[in-house]
Amino acid sequence: MALCARFCCGKTSNRKEKPKKQQTWRVFSLKELHAATNNFNYDNKLGEGGFGSVYWGQLWDGSQIAVKRLKVWSDKADMEFAVEVEILGRVRHKNLLSLRGYCAEGQERLIVYDYMPNLSLLSHLHGHHSAELLGWDRRMKIAIGSAEGITYLHHHATPHIIHRDIKASNVLLDSDFEAQVSDFGFAKLIPDGATHVTTRVKGTLGYLAPEYAMLGKASESCDVYSFGILLLELASGKKPIEKLSPTMKRTLTGWALPLVCQNKFSEVADPKLNGKYVEEELKRVLLVALICAQNQPEKRPTMLEVVELLKGDSKEKLANLENNELFNPTKSGSHQEGSSSAEDSTDFISEEKDEEELKEEKADHAHSS
């Protein structure tokens, strides 16, 4: 798990967010960030993980920030710092977490972001906010907003950007529950004319596209796959992978696809919604999610198409989606149980998790329990 969004799963704050001002990033002094965070006081800590800690802070003008303080002795952290600052310095979109600035003094490496008072989607679906209802209207808003943020990365940023770590903990929520896609430490720039880049696998088990997990081929389509899993998680309230026993696991797609093929959409919906959702929208979200999370990358839509489908702008395209061969019940037999043994290779493709990432997951669990 990447750390940038760690403050999204940290402790609850009753601090109210100040109105967001339009601004560009800048260089902060270490002295300024010490003052903003009360010398990185423990009471200001929002979360911690393998790359360091994230603190809440308040600047002299009253604006609230989240400060990611990296462990500088790690070459990997130094690389993440450079990548994230470069990527965030390039992008500006209402559904991408804004870079407020950074600090690189001596051995200190810090990245400054806008503070997100409603934490992350993960905290609302599975964490300490999960008891609070995330209503259907908000879920649709989050789905479309995050899709638009990723669309900007794929189709409007120059050069195009692959995120490589789309997941619930990296979708932050502002005071209006507007989605903010975060954490660009694993992101890759795609040269003009390139269809993919081959790289060491980064990301989180359950969200990784097969061709990326097995071959290291990263493309925009890998983000589309991850977003499909995220959509299923958002609609169902279930995690990407469910352990049925020590030797058996069930993927979210393997569980949901047979039900969708049988038009049992209500059985996929998050029980916490208590049936309070728009049936056509639920159906649309599930169909889009599963078409995104197909194993064959060439059959996945682009994020531009995903946004259009989620908004329901084209009845013709929605009809074509419903008639897709993926939803032919005769083709879903192999997914009927949606489970597999622990010896399956997918259990071992989480990029050979480093000790830092495992510690981070434990920290995340501790904060959300």
* 249 neighbors 234 (Cβ within 8 angstroms): no
The SS3 call for residue 52 is strand
* 80 neighbors 187 (Cβ within 8 angstroms): no
CA-to-CA dists, residue 30 to 37, 38, 40, 100, 106, angstroms: 11, 12, 11, 14, 9
* 57 neighbors 64 (Cβ within 8 angstroms): yes
Q: Is 21 exposed, middle or buried (0-12, 13-18, 19+ CB in 10 A)?
A: exposed
**Residue 165: active-site member:** yes
Q: Kindly state the tokens that stand for 9.
A: 């799963």
Question: Which amino acid, residue 118?
Answer: N
Helices (H), the chain: 30-36, 75-90, 121-125, 136-151, 210-215, 220-236, 252-261, 279-292, 303-311, 315-322, 355-368
Strand order in the sheet with 64-70: 26-27, 99-105, 108-114, 64-70, 52-58, 45-49
Q: Kindly state the tokens that stand for 88.
A: 């965030």
Please report where in the chains the tokens 């019940």 appear, as a residue: 329
The SS3 call for residue 292 is helix
Q: How far apart are CA 303 and CA 163, in angstroms?
A: 13
Residues contacting residue 165 through CB under 8 Å, at least 6 positions apart: 2, 183, 185, 186, 187, 202, 203, 204, 207, 226
- Residue 215: other Cβ atoms inside 10 A: 12
Q: Which of 75, 78, 165, 354 is catalytic?
A: 165
In three state form, how does the secondary structure of 85-119 look? HHHHHHCCCCCECCEEEEEEECCEEEEEEECCCCC
Please indicate if the annotation marks 283 as binding a ligand.
Answer: no
Residues contacting residue 41 through CB under 8 Å, at least 6 positions apart: 55
Annotated binding site: 68
Annotated binding site for ATP: 68
Supply the residues annotated as catalytic.
165
